[in-house]
Structure 1
Amino acid sequence: MRNQKINIKLIAGSVLLFSVIIFSFQSCKEKKKEVVEETKKPEKVADDGFVSIFDGKTLDNWKGDGIHWRAEDGSLVGEVTPSTLIKKNTFIIWQGGQPKDFELKAEFRITEDGNSGINYRSELLDSIPNALRGYQADIDGQNRYTGQNYEERKRTTLAYRGEKAVITSQKNPDEPGSLRENVKNNAWQNRDVVESLGDSDSLKAKIKAEDWNKVHLIVQGNKLQHYVNGILMSEVIDDDTVNRSFSGWLGVQVHVGPPMKVEYKNIQLKKL
């Protein structure tokens, strides 16, 4: 009888010890799981509303020809070589929507002979592959045009670097050819420069040649602002009710001309 009591006590003790071991193991496992889950949480990033629209590795969500455009070393690269010269300007176009009011931030670097630009609120041309028609933040390697607002295949120059300009409609806009007739010396005639943002050459000195520069576009309503390296280079108030646009495609350009290379990185968009 005494031996039976001892056996019962030993069994009970063993069960208790086994339960404690199992509980301790589960507790350690839960703690380990919590630690793993904590390490998986992403770092907290300030929410400024900007979203990256280029992953730096692929051309996913962008449409252009694979001859002149590629992703390389974190950059969206447009390049024309002696064997790939183009007869018409070509673009790579973001497929994520047609932004209306927005801010765009990016960095760019362009070779001395390069000519490029960021198009926005633009329309696709049916007659030419990967071609856009619309507003452009102009960029070139010699910084003759960088910072100005040039409207591709439409009203041409709306504001030179250093200008705040108000744009109005041409007379008799319904007459055939009136759009072309209202352009002289590659600039829209119905524009009034209402304010100087600084001397063009002084502003040019703030733009780095063949090095990385930051561009910031603020596009809201009929006000279009182009900043380079934090400096307002041009501003357009588009009161042209016939030709202005309030939404459209976004893309970047390589221009007809000699061999060139342009790179864009850290492309970020914030819808307003």
Structure 2
Amino acid sequence: KDIRIQTDSLEHYSQKMQIAPVTTKNTLTTSEEKDGWKMLWDGKTTEGWRGARLEDFPQEGWEIKNGILTVLASGGAESAAGGDIVTEKLYGDFELKADFKITEGANSGIKYYVDTDINKGPGSSIGLEYQILDDDKHPDAKLGNHEGSRTVASLYDLIKADPDKPIHPVGAWNTARIISKNNHVEHWLNGTKVLEYERGSEDFRKLVSESKYAKWDRFGELEEGRILLQDHGNRVSFKNIKIKTL
């Protein structure tokens, strides 16, 4: 009974926010196909992906099961188990959609314009990051050089997402959307735009200079880069990962 009530509540919330229902099909709709969308992950194999510091897909730390791609829990360390995974292809202007589901206290992220030749040392590969986080339970939500910039859907360590963002609870699916066109970037969460910025602008470079990324020359300003799913040592799942070049 409790499960049914919770499900009904989520469905009502989704309808209110005009959020499309999340599926596990990992396929394109007819309209998406006509509009130029491609599956970035096929829902079954590792095709098109590899480890950020590997020639192939990691042999451990990631799981593909029932149409869901999951980074497994390994103690919360950053890129210390299977490690981050990245697309084999590079992307310039693009629109990306991905469903994600976190576990309690989890941390992960979707990075873009990633250059895997930068930061060969420990930790995650470097790129702009759509933060994935349990804001209520993970301490990162209260850290960062810019207040709130490490909360879910934020541009990690740089720009805080709208605090009124429509986030579904731990254990439920959420939909991330990233749009980057002519250096104008938007983060969306569950059908709502939660932030926007201009890559390479004076304001952007000032934010970078005040962040953990200040040591990287022209951080976030690559013309093309890889898409990355982060291993931060917590169990986080992904599906319906789709991309459209713009």
Range class of TM-score, shorter chain? 0.5 to 0.7
Query: 1:81 aligns to what?
Result: 74
Structure 1, unaligned runs of 5 or more: 1-43, 151-156, 163-199
* Corresponding position of 2:210: none
CA deviations over 1:31-89 (Å, ceiling 9, x no partner): xxxxxxxxxxxxx933121100111111122112222112111011101235xx64546
Q: Equivalences for 1:207-222 in 2 at 5 Å?
A: 207-222=168-183
Higher fraction of helix: 1
Aligned-partner Cα distance in 2 for 1:142–1:112:
10
Q: Does 1:45 align with 2:30?
A: yes
The aligned residue for residue 102 of structure 1 is: 94
- Matched positions, count: 178
Structure 2's unaligned 5+ residue stretches are: 1-28, 52-57, 142-150, 206-217
TM-score (norm 1): 0.60
Please name the residue that 1:265 is paired with. Answer: 239
**Counterpart residue type for residue 99 of structure 1:** Y
Amino acid in structure 2 at the alignment position of 1:262: V
Please report how far the alpha carbon of residue 148 of structure 1 lies from its aligned counterpart in structure 2 after TM superposition.
0.4
State the superposition RMSD in angstroms. Answer: 2.3
CA deviations on 1:142-184 (whole Å, 9 max, x unpaired) are: 364111002xxxxxx221112xxxxxxxxxxxxxxxxxxxxxx
1:225 matches 2:225: no
Contact map agreement 1:107 1:267 (CA 8 A) in 2: yes
Cα deviation for residue 113 of structure 1 reads 1.6
User: Are 1:224 and 1:237, in contact at CA under 8 Å, matched by a contact in 2?
Assistant: yes
Check the 8 A contact 2:79/2:231 in 1, yes or no: no
Partners in 2 of 1:132 and 1:140 — Cα distance?
Answer: 18
Counterpart check, 1:93 vs 2:86: yes
Q: Provide the C-alpha distance between the structure 2 equivalents of 1:50 and 1:68, rounded to a whole number of angstroms.
A: 29
In structure 1, what is the equivalent of residue 50 of structure 2? 63
Q: Is the 8 A contact 1:158 1:236 kept in 2?
A: no
Greater gyration radius: 1
What TM-score results when the alignment is normalised by the length of structure 2? 0.66
Query: How far did 1:232 drift?
Result: 0.9
Name the SS of the counterpart of 1:254 in structure 2: coil
Please identify which structure carries the higher strand content.
1
C-alpha distance in structure 2 between counterparts of 1:161 and 1:53, whole Å: 25
Q: 2:65 aligns with which of 49, 72, 96?
A: 72
CA distance in 1, matches of 2:122, 2:48: 17
Instruction: Tell whether the 8 Å contact from 1:121 to 1:247 is kept in structure 2 after alignment.
Output: yes
Structure 2 partner of 1:19 = none
Task: Return the alpha-carbon distance in structure 2 between the equivalents of residues 255 and 140 of structure 1.
Answer: 10
Superimposed CA distance per residue, residues 76-127 of structure 1 (whole angstroms, 9 cap, x where no aligned partner): 1101235xx64546311111x1100000011000101210010101111362
Query: Percent identical across equivalent pairs?
Result: 28
